[in-house]
Amino acid sequence: MFTPPTAPTAEEALRLAWEAFDRGATEEARALAAQAVQAAPDEVDPRRCLALALETLGEFQAADRALHEALALAPDDVDLLLQTAHLLAGATDDLDALEEAVTLAQEAQELLRVEPDPDQGPTYLGEAHLYEGQARLHLGDPKGALASLLKAEAALPDAPEPALALAATYFELLRLSEASAALDRAALASPEDPFVFWQRALIAERQGDPRAAALAQRARALDPLGFPPPIHLDHDRFAARCEEALSRLPPKVRAYLGNVAIQVAPLPEEDDLLVQDPPLSPQIMGLFRGTPLSARSEADPWSHLPAEVLLFQRNIERWVSSEAELLEQIEITLRHEVAHFLGFDEAEVEAMGLG
């Protein structure tokens, strides 16, 4: 743990903190920035520097706290709005954080429209559209994300980030040729980006291209932590895990499933994804097909046709790191889709903790 020497002023501590950043000494930068915050609690720049150090060290909650303290001092600071939106847009599982990222990015856009900056304005505006688009994508709004990301790429044509986000967005919209084109653009600026190979692998997999496995392996070689090897079971063992999960459902629930087939498929079919607009994500882990129990009617014999719960093996396996996690995710997915069969909508299923 780095202990900074006593700095004479907040300004000096902050200068030393930025110098430490330039040397790659992030712990030292954090300690010095914290010292600057303590010496000048009403100034914005020390908190901005501290937040960046904390984010670099992976301490995202502390970084978020430092940025919100800075925003309380300077709510119309475009740099701060963008730095905070960038941090929150990466909080892929926190809906509140993602919604705040959209709001902050939009606030930055409005400030830039009211008071355009001839030097940094186009870059800042591109970043604001980028962070809004990334947050909207994680919120499950690929159409809204697409509109923002196209503006971001137009403003930042040489940066790989907008093209990478566009590729992911086009993939969610099942526009695979456009996703591939966006990856080509991203690869021009960042040819060894692991996400380029990962996204190409997902596209190839959906197209039945045998190169998918090699592309995924290349992504894992470039970023072993970001893209760990999947836990893969043969079909019979995976189906057996599904039976185990089914056996743990409450008996009253299982009693309703006599006319519901529990099926395992490698990936969702395109027809299943296109039942709504925008389409369901090609990365969904499960799907209920049929009429929910609550909507069945004696006057409508078609509503009593057999229903199906589908579990998509590759999508489930892709996002777990152990067989224990796999069994847990199978159970969560099964319960999620059975809840849809019982008549609960997506918001209600999420509220039940089955997201």
Give per-residue pLDDT as tens, 153-195.
Answer: 999 999 999 999 999 999 999 999 999 999 999 999 999 999 9
Instruction: Return d(Cα 195, Cα 173) in angstroms, integer.
Output: 18
In a domain, 265, yes or no: yes
pLDDT confidence of residue 230: 84
What pLDDT shows up at residue 289?
86
Across the range 6-18, mean pLDDT stands at: 86
Residue 220 lies in a domain: yes
CA 288 remoteness from chain centre: 23
Whether residue 254 is found in the same domain as residue 334:
yes
* Phi/psi at 32 (5° precision): -70, -40
- The whole-number average pLDDT for the span 54-83 is 96
Instruction: Single out the residue of 134, 135, 114, 112 nearest to residue 124, CA to CA.
Output: 112
User: Does any domain span residue 74?
Assistant: no
- CB burial of residue 167 (10 Å; 0-12, 13-18, 19+): buried
Half-sphere exposure of 178 (CA within 13 A, CB side): 12
Q: Given 203, 229, 255, which residue is the final one in a domain?
A: 229
Residue 141, in any domain of the structure: no
* Residues 6 or more apart in contact with residue 69 via CB below 8 angstroms: 47
Last residue of a domain, one of 205, 229, 253: 229
Q: Which DSSP helix (H) or strand (E) runs through 152?
A: helix 142-155
Distance CA(298)–CA(241), nearest Å, equals: 35
Q: What does residue 289 show for φ and ψ, rounded to 5 degrees?
A: -115, 130
pTM of model > 0.85? yes
Least confident piece of the model among 101-115, 246-260, 335-349: 335-349
Do both 309 and 251 map to the same domain?
yes
Mean pLDDT of 222-250: 91
| 312 backbone dihedrals φ, ψ, rounded to 5° | -100, 105
- Which residue type is seen at 139? L
166 and 267 share one domain: no
pLDDT the model gives residue 35: 94
How many domains would you assign to the chain? 2
For residue 329, give the DSSP letter: H
| Strand spans (E) along the chain | 260-265, 286-289, 307-312
Dihedral angle computed from the Cα positions of residues 14, 16, 18 and 19, in that order, rounded to the nearest 10 degrees: 170
Task: Locate 307 and state its tokens.
Answer: 């229903």
Least confident residue range of 34-43, 190-199, 318-327: 318-327
Percent of the chain with pLDDT over 90: 73
Cβ atoms < 10 Å from Cβ of 150: 15
Burial class of 57 by CB neighbour count within 10 A (0 to 12, 13 to 18, 19+): middle
β-pairing verdict for 260-265 and 307-312 = parallel
| Residues 286 and 198 both lie in one domain | no
Q: Which of 260, 258, 285, 262 is nearest to 272 (CA)?
A: 285
On whether both 241 and 225 belong to a single domain, the answer is no
Per-residue pLDDT for 88 more than 60? yes
Q: What is the pLDDT of residue 259?
A: 80
* pLDDT per position as a tens digit, 323-349: 899 989 999 999 999 888 887 666 665
223: tokens are 């970023």
Q: Does residue 216 sit in the same domain as residue 244? A: no
The CA distance from 328 to 322, in Å, is: 10
Mean pLDDT over each residue of the chain, to the nearest integer = 90
The total of other beta-carbon atoms located within 10 Å of residue 296's CB is: 17
- Residue 72 sits at φ, ψ, to 5 deg, of -65, -30
268 occurs within a structural domain: yes
Number of Cα atoms under 13 Å in the Cβ half of residue 96: 1
Residues 223 and 292 grouped into a single domain: no
CATH no. for residue 207?
1.25.40.10
pLDDT at 303 over 50: no
Span 205-224, average pLDDT: 96
Q: What pLDDT sits at residue 298? A: 53
Residue 290: pLDDT band by 50, 70, 90 thresholds?
confident
**Dist. CA 20–CA 18, nearest whole Å:** 5
pLDDT of residue 305: 52
Helix axes 121-138, 78-89, angle to 10 degrees: 30
- 282 shares a domain with 331: yes
**Same domain, yes or no: 289 and 335:** yes
Residue type for 68, please? H
pLDDT at 300: 44
270 and 334 housed in the same domain: yes
pLDDT digits (tens, 9 = 90+) for 114-143: 887 777 778 999 999 999 999 999 999 999
Mean pLDDT of 77-81: 96
Average pLDDT over residues 1-26: 84
Indicate the pLDDT class of residue 8, thresholds 50, 70 and 90: low
Look at residue 203 and tell me if it is in a domain.
yes
Whether residue 220 is found in the same domain as residue 298 = no
Question: 339 in a domain, yes or no?
Answer: yes
Last residue of a domain, one of 211, 229, 247: 229
- The neighbouring-strand residues paired with 143 are none
Residue 206's domain spans which residues? 157-229
The CATH number that applies at residue 313 is 3.30.2010.20
> Is the pLDDT higher at 323 or at 62?
62
Taking the CA of residue 255 as centre, how many other CA atoms within 13 Å lie in the half-sphere pointing to its CB?
A: 3
Residue 250's region, left for phi above 0, alpha for psi from -120 to 50, else beta, is beta
Does residue 328 lie in a domain region? yes
Indicate whether 266 and 187 sit together in one domain: no
Residue 40, classed as helix, strand or coil, is coil
